[in-house]
């Protein structure tokens, strides 16, 4: 699993610093247990005087997947509120995000739904289901 978190940290001394302690609460249906907790894991950051960002493809992929999911959820909310234009815009944005991820089939589903809304059509339950499915899917790579 991947956990994405935004942390806003003030000035820190140079070097490795523990910035958080993480404990995961989870359920394990395989052994019919709920409310289990992991061991406490320290989260460390290496503070440097002149930060140079290094792109991490795995993090980028996770961020795009989260963005696509949020965009489709926002579209669904806007549609429930009767805002067809807003919903179509969010679906188009999600389609662009899917393309950034290399997922052309998801982009097609999302853009088709956006186009239907723009043309004044209703989305069928099947359309909505497809949209929800592609919002949650991520292409698997061989690596």
pLDDT tens digits, residue range 2-43?
A: 777 777 788 889 999 999 999 989 999 999 999 999 999 999
pLDDT at 141 over 70: no
> What pLDDT does 95 receive?
96
The pLDDT score that the predictor gives to residue 143 is 46
SS3 category, 37: strand
pTM of this prediction exceeds 0.95 = no
- How much is the pLDDT for 140? 63
List pLDDT tens digits, range 44-92. 998 988 878 888 888 888 889 999 999 999 999 999 999 999 999 999 9
**What's the gap between Cα 33 and its chain centre?**
27
Residue 127's Cβ-count burial label (10 Å; 0-12, 13-18, 19+) is middle
pLDDT at 138: 76
Q: Taking a C-beta distance cutoff of 8 angstroms, is the pair 44, 21 a contact?
A: no
């Amino acid at each position: 699993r991947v956990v994405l978190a935004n942390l806003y940290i003030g000035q820190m001394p140079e070097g490795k610093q523990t910035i958080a302690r993480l404990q995961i609460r989870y359920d394990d249906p395989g052994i019919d247990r709920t409310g289990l907790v992991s061991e406490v894991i320290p989260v460390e950051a290496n503070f440097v005087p002149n930060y140079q960002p290094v792109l991490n493809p795995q993090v980028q992929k996770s961020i795009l997947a989260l963005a696509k999911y949020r965009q489709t959820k926002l579209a669904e909310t806007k549609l429930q509120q009767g805002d067809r234009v807003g919903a179509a815009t969010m679906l188009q944005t999600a389609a662009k995000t899917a393309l950034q991820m290399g997922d052309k089939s998801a982009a097609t589903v999302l853009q088709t739904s956006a186009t239907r809304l723009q043309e004044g059509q209703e989305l069928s339950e099947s359309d909505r289901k497809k949209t929800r499915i592609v919002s949650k899917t991520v292409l698997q790579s061989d690596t």
